Amino acid sequence: MNLVDSIGTSEFSLAEEPGIFTWDLATDKLYADSALANLFGLDPEQTLTGLPVIRYLDRIHPDDKPSVAKAISDSVITGNPYRCDYRVFDRSGQIVAVAAFGRCFRDEAGNPSQYAGIVFPTNDDVQQDELSAHCRAALKIARSSGLQATADALEAILKELAKPMPSDVTPIH
């Protein structure tokens, strides 16, 4: 079975699966898949139809929230890729360490308009090379489906994954 075929199977447990999101800055709605809903303890039906970004920020550990908010804000302002490790509360209230990658996209006038990314749990069972492989598979699907903004975001994420972790970013485990 190849990697693309295995994405639709139970290769990951839901707790290990990376979550993908797109945030429409004009409406402040963040659209996410069921994996992200699970990581953040939110209703999957609501995440698919979009929730205000504050609903996600409310699920971030209070000690991590200021640095996450600043990193996202910096990414929106500069257009640089975002990478941040932090903790969230899942549906049962348990703390889950996650890593997030994202990028802000601009409209024709140069204004920030869309923000897309991926969040995955950081535990011993999920390796960065597995994440890269899944991102490459998702990139292939996005390209073949004509989803250029998603493909661009995944390419940016893959570039970030290839970089060594900056010394000022400390993983939280």
Q: Does the residue 13 lie in any domain?
A: no
Q: Does the residue 29 lie in any domain?
A: yes
Same-domain status, 110 and 130: no
Q: Does the residue 107 lie in any domain?
A: yes
Same-domain status, 46 and 118: yes
Same-domain status, 23 and 100: yes
Same-domain status, 32 and 109: yes
Tell me if 132 sits within 8 A of 161, measured CB to CB.
yes
The tokens describing 159, both together, are 């570039």
Which residues sit opposite 166 in a β-bridge? none
pLDDT in tens, the chain (173 residues): 344 444 444 444 555 789 999 999 999 999 999 999 999 999 999 999 999 999 999 999 999 999 999 999 999 999 999 999 999 998 888 899 999 999 999 999 999 999 999 999 987 444 556 677 778 888 888 898 888 988 888 888 887 766 654 433 444 43
**What's the number of domains the chain is made of?**
2
Same-domain status, 117 and 129: no
Angle (CA) 55-104-12 rounded to 5° is: 60
Q: State how far the Cα of 143 lies from the Cα of 59, in Å rounded to an integer.
A: 32
Same-domain status, 40 and 107: yes
The tokens describing 42, both together, are 């939110």
Same-domain status, 102 and 35: yes
Count of CB atoms situated within 10 Å of the CB of 62: 9
Alpha helices in the chain (DSSP H): 3-6, 34-40, 44-49, 53-57, 65-78, 128-144, 148-162
Same-domain status, 117 and 63: yes
Same-domain status, 39 and 52: yes
Domain of 64 in residue numbering reads as 19-122
Q: State how far the Cα of 11 lies from the Cα of 40, in Å rounded to an integer.
A: 21
Q: Is 160 helix (H, G, I), strand (E, B) or coil?
A: helix
Global pTM reads: 0.64
